[in-house]
Amino acid sequence: MARIVVLGAGVAGHTAALTLKRRLGRRHDVVVVSPNSKWNWIPSNIWVGVGRMPAKAVVFPLAPVYRRTGIEFHQAKAFAIRPDGDAESPQGAVDIEYTGQDRRGEIVRLRYDYLVNATGPALNFAATPGLGPDGGHTVSVCTPSHAVEAAEHLATAIGRVRDGERLRFVVGVGHGTCTCEGAAFEYAFNVEQELERAGVRDRAEVVYLSNEPELGDFGVGGMQFGTPAGPVDGADWMASMFRERGIKAVTRAAVTAVDPGVIHYVHEDGAPRELAFDFAMLLPPFRGVPMRAYDREGAEITAELFAPSGFMKVDADYTPKTPQEWSADDWPSTYQVPGRPNHFAVGIAFAPPHAISMPLQTPDGVAIAPAPPRTGMPSGAMGKAAALSIADMIATGSDVATHRASMAELPAACIASTGTGFARGSAVAMTMAPIVPDFARRPTTHGRDPEHTVGEVGLAAHWLKRMLHTAFLYKMKAYPLWHLIPE
Amino acid sequence: MTDVQAAIDAAPLPTPRERRRRRNPFIQFGRFVALGWGMFRLAQH
């Protein structure tokens, strides 16, 4: 009997755990360690953040799902990995500290035969002074509780505009190395819709503040879309949408600090700039969750397993390269940790080899470089690939991962909400193939397959996003035939 | 603001026909089916 420990219960970890259990049945143990008691469908947090969806609609408790599916669940955070075991046993182990289940603070060492690290990100608000809802001056929609707080602040600000004030609403990212610009884009457009609905749009200025080199970059280097009206450049397409909705934009910006009512930022020239605000939702940069690694003797080997960002090294090419030297082949495909084939890191937890977008930098070295997004669809695909590889490895006794999910080959579908409501909703439906453009194989089409890199704006895309909300909650609750819903 | 704001200010707006198409429930129902099927197939890729 093999024992597989999955760290994290987000899209990647939860998908991996459910897939493993479905494949392995009762013959093997699948164990999930997550500090959170609830699963969160993060793409819908933006609707919680404008008060159009209750927080309870985007979460469900994990324990009943795991009980029903026969998965062992520990509500705990992992803080140390011992991939080669310890003095007692050569079997790998992970040290965890409980955060719930009436065992808060208790520390336990879990043994494993296979480990899937899918811990997701640590929200690094501390990277920018004054950023974030906890002691800072901005709000966030990264978690349901953050989104609820954002909705309250937004309602207050809209109330002030109703009372006759003219306010500026700034939505974007709070650091030069942030990712998830798509979520900020969505929130900016949903805030704009709320102002329109409240009848106060003419007294409110909405500004999108981003580290992207240009609109529509989204951390994936931008796209060249096929649309119903013909092929268009993604930046031009987005510019048209911003103009249509009267949303202003500042790109190529690294936020360096936030004071009450003032955002400080720089462009690549390094000159300090300020943007006053009355309401600001700025997403934080991510880093790996704090975790250390030790060998059998107890010597620290964290730097061997983890990149300085805290994300876990996998089968990528981490050789330092200039953007001109970047290759699609740099990207990992099996997500196995080098030299430790029974260890995998998937979703946000794996260390990308480099950015996808063109990085910028100020003369003082402040990075304006969107980090590669690896959430949602690719996260689920990675989690499933790692799970299927482990199931095959257990069956055959091999060390070779049999399933691959390289972001340089995976397609992605993204639906970015630009407003909600059955009749008044709107969204941008985008698909791209692959996520990481391959300029060597497709030099004339922005590195992607034009047949599968398409975009469309409309009510249908909103309906689709709303349907995916229901479909993915169904899938993640492991209801009957859940596995038929693709990642 | 910046160069990007100049690009936004100069960007073409969707035509009235395109705006109607985006909101027409019958057209959008058809697009919903087509987009959903396309994404389903892409995810199975």
Q: How far is B24 from chain A (nearest CA, A)?
A: 8
The string of pLDDT tens digits covering residues A74-107 is: 999 999 999 999 999 999 999 999 999 999 999 9
Residue found by looking up tokens 């997004």 in the block: A373
Domain that holds residue B36: 3-44
Residues in chain B with CB shorter than 8 Å from the CB of A214 are: 4
From A480, A483, A472, select the one nearest A376 (Cα to Cα). Answer: A472
Query: A140 to each of A186, A190, A284, A376, B33, how far by Cα in Å?
Result: 13, 14, 8, 19, 33
Residues 6 or more apart in contact with residue A261 via CB below 8 angstroms: A137, A276, A277, A278
> Both tokens of residue B2?
């910046």
Whether chain B has a CB inside 8 Å of the CB on A158: the answer is: no
Residues of A in contact with B5 (CB under 8 A): 248-250
In a domain, A401, yes or no: no
Mean per-residue pLDDT for A413-429?
Answer: 95
In this prediction, residue A231 has a pLDDT band, given cuts at 50, 70 and 90, of: confident
What CATH number corresponds to the domain at position A77? Answer: 3.50.50.60
A349's CB contacts (< 8 A; 6+ apart) are A7, A8, A12, A117, A118, A119, A120, A288, A289, A311, A312
> Cis omega (within 30 of 0) on the bond before A434?
yes
Mutation target among A244, A407, A418, A475 for the B interface, most CBs of B within 10 A: A244
Does the structure show a pLDDT above 80 at A283? yes
Domain count, chain B: 1
Residues from chain B contacting residue A243 (CB–CB below 8 Å): 8-9, 11, 13
**Mean per-residue pLDDT, A192-219:** 97
Percent of chain A predicted with pLDDT > 90: 92
- Per the prediction, chain A carries an average pLDDT of 96
Residue B3 scores a pLDDT above 90 = no
Among A94-103, A348-357, A431-440, the minimum mean pLDDT is found in A431-440
Q: Which residue of B has its CA nearest to A239?
A: B8
A228 pLDDT more than 80: no
Task: Give pTM, 2 decimals.
Answer: 0.96
Residue A86 in any domain: the answer is: yes
Q: Do B8 and A251 touch (CB under 8 A)?
A: no
Contact check, Cβ <8 Å, A460/B29: yes
SS3 B19: helix
Q: Which of A100-104, A375-379, A434-438 has the lowest mean pLDDT?
A: A375-379
The residue range of the domain holding A75 is: 3-122+289-360+372-396
Q: Distance between CA atoms of A14 and A20, rounded to whole angstroms?
A: 10
Per-residue H/E/C for chain A: CCEEEEECCCHHHHHHHHHHHHHHHHHCEEEEEECCCEEECHHHHHHHCCCCCCHHHHEEEHHHHHHHHCCEEEEEEEEEEECCCCCCCCCEEEEEEECCCCCCCCEEEEEECEEEECCCEEECHHHCCCCCCCCCCCECCCCHHHHHHHHHHHHHHHHHHHCCCCEEEEEEECCCCCCCHHHHHHHHHHHHHHHHHCCCHHHEEEEEECCCCCCCCCCCCCCEEEECCEEEEHHHHHHHHHHHHCCEEECCCEEEEEECCEEEEECCCCCEEEEECCEEEEECCEEECCCEEECCCCCECHHHHECCCCCECCCCCCCCCCHHHCCHHHCCCCCEECCEEEEEECHHHECCCCCCCCCEECCCCCEECCCCCCCCHHHHHHHHHHHHHHHHHHHHCCCCCCCCCCCCCCCEEEEEEEECCCCCCEEEEEEECCCCCCCCCCCCCCCCCCCCCEEEEEHHHHHHHHHHHHHHHHHHCCCCCHHHCCC
Interface contact A243-B38, CB threshold 8 A: no
Residue B1 has pLDDT above 60, yes or no: no
Q: Kindly state whether residue A452 falls inside one of the protein's structural domains.
A: no
Asked if B23 has any chain A CB less than 8 Å from its own CB, the reply is yes
What's residue B13's pLDDT? 95
Residue A302 lies in a domain: yes
How many domains in chain A?
1
HSE at residue B8, side-chain half, CA atoms within 13 A, is 22
Q: Which residues of A touch B6 (CB under 8 A)?
A: none
Q: What pLDDT sits at residue A348?
A: 96
Do residue B2 and residue A431 have CB atoms under 8 angstroms apart? no
Interface pTM, i.e. ipTM: 0.96
Contact B38 A431 (CB under 8 A): yes
B contact test, residue of A207, A208, A251 with most B CBs within 10 A? A251
Give pLDDT tens digits for A360-369. 999 999 999 9
The 10s digit of each residue's pLDDT in A199-210 is 999 999 999 999
Is residue A460 included in any domain, yes or no? no
B21 touches chain A (CB under 8 A): yes
A73 domain residue, yes or no:
yes
The pLDDT value given to residue B2: 65
Nearest to A459 among B28, B42, B43 (CB): B28
The answer to whether the Cβ–Cβ distance between A248 and B8 falls below 8 Å is yes
Round the average pLDDT of chain B to a whole number and report it.
91
A182 pLDDT above the threshold of 80: yes
Of all residues in chain A, the one with the smallest CA distance to B39 is A413
pLDDT higher for A451 or A475? Answer: A475
Establish if A274 touches chain B: CB-CB under 8 angstroms: no
- Residue partners of A16: CB distance under 8 A and separation at least 6: A6, A116, A118, A346, A383, A384, A386, A387
Q: From the CA of A331, how many Å to the nearest CA of chain B?
A: 19
Cα–Cα distance measured from residue A405 to residue A304, given in angstroms and rounded to the nearest whole number: 23
Judged by CB atoms closer than 8 Å, whether chains meet at B31 and A486 is answered as: no
Q: Considering the domain boundaries, does residue A43 fall inside one?
A: yes
More confident residue, B3 or A458: A458
* Mean pLDDT score, A412-440: 94
Neighbouring-strand partners of residue A78: A96
Residues contacting residue B41 through CB under 8 Å, at least 6 positions apart: none
* Residue A450 sits at the chain B interface (C-beta within 8 Å): no
A170, A210, A232, A242, best to mutate vs chain B, most B CBs in 10 Å:
A242
A298 part of a folded domain: yes
Q: Which residues pair with A279 in a beta bridge?
A: A169
User: Is the Cβ pair B39, A413 closer than 8 Å?
Assistant: yes
d(CA A277, CA A207) in angstroms, rounded, equals 9
Which residues of chain A have a CB within 8 Å of the CB of B12? 240
Confidence of residue A47 (pLDDT cuts 50, 70, 90): very high
Q: Which residues of B fall within a CB distance of 8 Å from A236?
A: 7, 11
Which residue of chain A has the CA closest to B42? A411
**Residue B41 confidence (pLDDT):** 87
Q: How confident is the model at residue A64 (pLDDT cuts 50, 70, 90)?
A: very high
In Å, how far are A137, A347, A356 from A31, measured between CA atoms? Answer: 39, 18, 34
Contact residues, chain A, for B11 at CB < 8 Å: 236, 239-240, 242-243
Does A460 sit within 8 Å of B32, measured CB to CB? yes
